[in-house]
Amino acid sequence: MGLTYQRILLKLSGEALMGDLAYGIDPEVVRSIAQEITEIVAEGVEVAIVVGGGNIFRGVKGAASGMDRATADYIGMIATVMNAMTLQDALERNDVQTRVLTAIEMQEVAEPYIRRRAIRHLEKGRVVIFGAGSGNPFFTTDTTAALRAAEINAEVVFKATKVDGVYDADPKLNPEARRFQSLTYSYVLTHDLRVMDTTAIALCKDNNIPIIVFNLSVSGNIRRAVMGESIGTIVGGSCEII
């Protein structure tokens, strides 16, 4: 089976890097993710990544505790850079050239985000990791993923999560919950399914970028998604339920 997608935007939550830990980064999980990315890069896939920071600091929670929201969000952005650098290190240990580009300048540790530079890195076969979100408070890393995907002309957004798709009910609470195979953007928005935040969904809808939601913890799922196998749920098609 050949490649279905040539240039992808992979959205990783900060929690995805925790594994079973209560806080921080599990090196084994990072190594596993890096290995899967290494395999698809070797097949010629151009990979851009947006990583969250919730395993270290989440701006919304900081604001809920009384912190100024903008300040809390900036701290969260810095947390994403820590995760980006950790993932960069794991990829480069696999001899994959990787560049971290940040929306907040940190020139001693990463390059500033410049759209044309990011695209050039991808064309040269380098993995690009976008850190510091969009550089603006009040916007999530989901929105950053949709924005960067549109900017670099990515063909798809892969939303790697801890569940195997989008359900019509919470599968933890309802054992009869059914998984959607595909969904329209409008259905996600009108039914508030929380696949990604509404701004991210709207951006993908406006730019006709499909979103594929799948379980990151299943080994080989990133490659299966790149190859076009039917895993998880695709947002951007018709509404079909399994």
Q: Which residues define the annotated binding site for UMP? A: 53, 73, 134-141
Binding residues: 11-14, 53-54, 58, 73, 134-141, 161, 167, 170
Binding residues for ATP: 11-14, 54, 58, 161, 167, 170
Q: At what angle do helices 69-93 and 27-42 cross, to 10 degrees?
A: 60
Q: At what angle do helices 115-123 and 141-151 cross, to 10 degrees?
A: 70
- 76 Cα distance to chain centroid: 16
Output the DSSP codes for the chain: ---S-SEEEEEE-GGGGTTT-SSS--HHHHHHHHHHHHHHHHTT-EEEEEE--TTT--HHHHHHTT--HHHHHHHHHHHHHHHHHHHHHHHHHTT--EEEEESS--TTTSEEP-HHHHHHHHHTT-EEEEESTTSSTT--HHHHHHHHHHHTT-SEEEEEESSSSEESS-TTT-TT--EEEEE-HHHHHHTT--SS-HHHHHHHHHTT--EEEEETTSTTHHHHHHTT---SEEETS--EE-
